[in-house]
Structure formats: structure tokens, C-alpha cells
């Protein structure tokens, strides 16, 4: 799938989920100020939705320069140039200082990380005391997931199998094994009809 095709799907088919997931992130993490990092941001749609309901300064990270160009254009169109910026980097080597980010988010990119354990370790490295990472693959609600699946399955016969692999009933166990190999002190994995999310927290007294 080329960048334009990917962005068209994100902007059109997936458009309804970003405000819903942004609100869920706000409610479940309670973090509305400080610095946020969106990993595998694509066109920046989730980050922009989150910026619109919080006071967070948001970094958009992606390893595709073409996607970051789209994200930069979307930031400008949303009038958020003073509160958002893009980073060209890989999740395995995040170009930010230790314990510098209050909230880390990522929707969908986790399934494409080449080394998930290393990625989680990098995420934890930059997570500030009291910070939360909210990472996974969700659709906001079961109804939205159903609507999107109906559209995606028309053009992609492997869609259902891919979703079962990524967020199916066996996924929590697979992610648990990976996370247990890290030094992350606290994590939880939540899976329901709308998707799967991993929450990682760094305690305020943890250095």
C-alpha cells in the first residue's frame, strides 16, 4: 500500500475513530498537560484529535518522511503549529531525553514494529515519572469496528485474519510475554470488542 492510499484510508474510512479514541485516552490516563508523543503517527489524525481536547504539546513521530509531510500539512490546517511538531525517527531509537514525555500514544503502529521488545524499552526510557503510555489497536467502539471492517473487507480479503492476529484473543498473551522480558514495572493489557490497548505506567517515585 502506498502512502497516498494509506492516508486516504486513514482520513476517510478511519476518520470517525480518532475523536473517540482521543477522548478515551484523556479519560483513562487523566493526562491533559505536558508533553505527548504519538508513535507511528501517520497523518497525525489521532494526535490532532487529542490536541483539540487537551493542552498537551504533541510530538508526531514516524519513520516515513512522506507521512510526516502529510502530518505537517494537517497540523498547519488545524492551526496547531505552535503545539505540535514532527519527528523523523524509528521507535527503536526515539530522539528524546530520558523521562521527558508525560503521555505516549500509538494506534496501529505496534503491529509493524520490527523489534517490539526494544520499542517498549525505548518508550519506557522516555516516559516521565507519573507518565502513561497508551498503545495498541482499537476502533473506539464495537460499532465503529464493525463499520470499518465491513468497508475494509471489500478490498482486502485478509483483513479479518490480520485483525485476529493483531488484536484477537491470543494477542494479550503474546504481548505479555514480550513485556515481561523488559524492566517495565507496571503494565496492563485491555482487550474488548473494540480492540486491544496496552497501558504502561511509570510511578512518580520510580527513577
Q: How confident is the model at residue 88 (pLDDT cuts 50, 70, 90)?
A: very high
**pLDDT value at position 141?**
97
pLDDT band at 101 (very low <50, low <70, confident <90, very high): very high
Helix (H) or strand (E) holding 87: strand 84-88
Residue 150 neighbours by CB distance under 10 Å: 10
Average pLDDT (18-40) is 98
* Partners of 203 in beta bridges: none
Average pLDDT over residues 157-184: 95
pLDDT value at 1 more than 90 = no
Q: How does pLDDT run across 33-49, given as a tens digit for each residue?
A: 999 999 999 999 999 99
What is the mean pLDDT of the segment spanning 115-144?
Answer: 97
With beta carbons less than 8 A apart as the criterion, state whether 60 and 28 touch.
no
**pTM of the prediction?**
0.96
Please state, in angstroms and as integers, the Cα–Cα distance from residue 202 to each residue in 102, 124, 136, 183, 189, following that order: 10, 8, 18, 11, 15
Helices (H) and strands (E) in the chain, counts: 8, 7
Per-residue pLDDT, averaged over 16-37, amounts to 98
- Angle, nearest 10°, between helix axes 17-29 and 142-155? 140
The confidence band for 155, taking pLDDT boundaries of 50, 70 and 90, is confident
* C-alpha–C-alpha distance, residues 55 and 24, integer Å: 16
Instruction: Name the DSSP class of 11.
Output: I
What is the structure's pLDDT at 206? 77
pLDDT band at 125 (very low <50, low <70, confident <90, very high): very high
Quick check: 207 pLDDT over 70?
no
Whole-angstrom Cα distance, residue 74 to residue 80? Answer: 9
For the segment 145-157, the average pLDDT, to the nearest whole number, is: 93
Give all domains of the chain, ordered by start, each with its CATH number: 3-151+165-201 (3.40.50.150)
> What DSSP character marks residue 10?
I
Amino acid at each position: 500500500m502506498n502512502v497516498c492510499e494509506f492516508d486516504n484510508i486513514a482520513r476517510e474510512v478511519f476518520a470517525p475513530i480518532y475523536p473517540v479514541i482521543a477522548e478515551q485516552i484523556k479519560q483513562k490516563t487523566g493526562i491533559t498537560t505536558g508533553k505527548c508523543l504519538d508513535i507511528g503517527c501517520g497523518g497525525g489524525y489521532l494526535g490532532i484529535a487529542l490536541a483539540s481536547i487537551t493542552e498537551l504539546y504533541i510530538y508526531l513521530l514516524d519513520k516515513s518522511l512522506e507521512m510526516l509531510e502529510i502530518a505537517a500539512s494537517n497540523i498547519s490546517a488545524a492551526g496547531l503549529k505552535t503545539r505540535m511538531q514532527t519527528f523523523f525517527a524509528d521507535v527503536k531509537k526515539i530522539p528524546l531525553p530520558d523521562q521527558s514525555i508525560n503521555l505516549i500514544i500509538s494506534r496501529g503502529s505496534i503491529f509493524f514494529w520490527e523489534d517490539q521488545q526494544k520499542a517498549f524499552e525505548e518508550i519506557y526510557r522516555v516516559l516521565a515519572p507519573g507518565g502513561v503510555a497508551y498503545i495498541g489497536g482499537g476502533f473506539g467502539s464495537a460499532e465503529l469496528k464493525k463499520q470499518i471492517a465491513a468497508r475494509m473487507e471489500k478490498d482486502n480479503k485478509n483483513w479479518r485474519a490480520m485483525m485476529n492476529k493483531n488484536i484477537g484473543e491470543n494477542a494479550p498473551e503474546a504481548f505479555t510475554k514480550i513485556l515481561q522480558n523488559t524492566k517495565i514495572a507496571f503494565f496492563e493489557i485491555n482487550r474488548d470488542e473494540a480492540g486491544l490497548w496496552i497501558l504502561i505506567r511509570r510511578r512518580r517515585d520510580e527513577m
